[in-house]
Amino acid sequence: MTDIRETAAVVATEPGATADAVSTAALGMGVKPLTPTKLAWRRFRRHKLAMASAVILLVIVVMCTFAPLFTKYSWNTLIRNPSGGLERFLHPQHGHWLGTDELGKDWYTNVLYGGRVSLEVGVMAALASTFVGTIIGVAAGYYGGWLDNLLMRITDLFLAIPLIVSLILLTGLPANEPWARTLFGPSQSVRSVTTIIALFFWMPVARILRGLVLSLKEKEFVEAARAAGASDGRIMFRHLIPNCTGQIIINTTLSVAAAVLLEGALSYLGFGVDPVKTPTWGNLLAHAQGQTQLLPALTYGPGIALVLTVLCVNFVGDGLRDALDPKQLSV
């Protein structure tokens, strides 16, 4: 190999090569070159709505994640007045920003702690489903043939299953079936709800990535990698998936919004996370609905938090799409 280095010296002294060197100096390589990430960040910043949404989302995420720092109560603390009686149905006021429920629990605290779980379910379900969807989509697109056919028909099958009905059926399984308990986790636990939602969220990602890989695998750099002796796995993980990063990120983001919403719907219907053990925005809403006659303000907290989060995530998703996939025409 040292031989080649010597050659280099010869080559480098050719007029062409030195011209290269001069031009790099003249062009001022001192100017920091822009990496794709920096370019994307620059485009994202121009998207005002997405930037504003990102800030709001950040506030929500920080407040929920570090809930103990933003409230002095725990979600199941019962608020008592100095004489020891429960402070039930307090109207929103200083110290209890969203009031208290019929048991005397601070509602603001519950919304914060509920957000923790709702966001956790949303993010974990989105990550898990994107992971599965990526593997299935890339494998189908790359290998093609019967495997592609098989995987895509399974995808079609999952898309054809009515979502809410099967989710409700599946959430009931762990209580009765031991195999479902090992697979999904205990009934009405955060883990089981996350797993079950993820089970129905991988299809769009799989389809999108299959399409992308179908066109990417014909590119010359894939053949170049193969000519360099790269294995199928190396080509898929080192060359194809990095080229899909933009789409993967956009889809994960949009999946988070959809999963948060679905968790809300499931919990609202009473098939989600157990309200006695863990608050979520969905079961807080269901809980508040029972009290609308006495204190309608209880629905506002979890309702607004849920809507705001989903809205912001979607706007951020749009911003990311424009930033990471500039070739796609934004409508």
The residues of the shown chain that bind other proteins, judged by CB under 8 A, are 1, 3-8, 10-12, 14, 16-17, 20-21, 24, 29, 33, 35-36, 219-221, 223-231, 234, 238-239, 242-243, 245
Query: Of 160 and 218, which has the nearer Cβ to other proteins?
Result: 218
Query: Of 177 and 223, which has the nearer Cβ to other proteins?
Result: 223
Q: How far is the CB of 71 from other proteins (least distance, A)?
A: 44
SS3 category, 150: helix
**C-alpha to C-alpha distance for 140 and 121, rounded to whole angstroms:** 28
Q: How far is the CB of 236 from other proteins (least distance, A)?
A: 13
Query: Of 5 and 94, which has the nearer Cβ to other proteins?
Result: 5
Q: How far is the CB of 29 from other proteins (least distance, A)?
A: 7
**C-alpha to C-alpha distance for 75 and 59, rounded to whole angstroms:** 19
**C-alpha to C-alpha distance for 298 and 126, rounded to whole angstroms:** 29
**C-alpha to C-alpha distance for 173 and 163, rounded to whole angstroms:** 16
Q: How far is the CB of 231 from other proteins (least distance, A)?
A: 6
Q: How far is the CB of 19 from other proteins (least distance, A)?
A: 9
**C-alpha to C-alpha distance for 166 and 144, rounded to whole angstroms:** 30
Q: How far is the CB of 249 from other proteins (least distance, A)?
A: 13
Query: Of 37 and 93, which has the nearer Cβ to other proteins?
Result: 37
Q: How far is the CB of 24 from other proteins (least distance, A)?
A: 6
The per-residue DSSP string of 30-86 comes to TSPPPPHHHHHHHHHHH-HHHHHHHHHHHHHHHHHHTHHHH-SS-TTPBPB-TTS-B
Query: Of 18 and 330, which has the nearer Cβ to other proteins?
Result: 18
**C-alpha to C-alpha distance for 254 and 313, rounded to whole angstroms:** 7
Query: Of 162 and 233, which has the nearer Cβ to other proteins?
Result: 233
Query: Of 181 and 226, which has the nearer Cβ to other proteins?
Result: 226
Nearest CA among 118, 147, 138 for reference residue 205: 138
Nearest CA among 143, 152, 139 for reference residue 204: 152
Compute the radius of gyration of the chain from its Cα atoms: 26
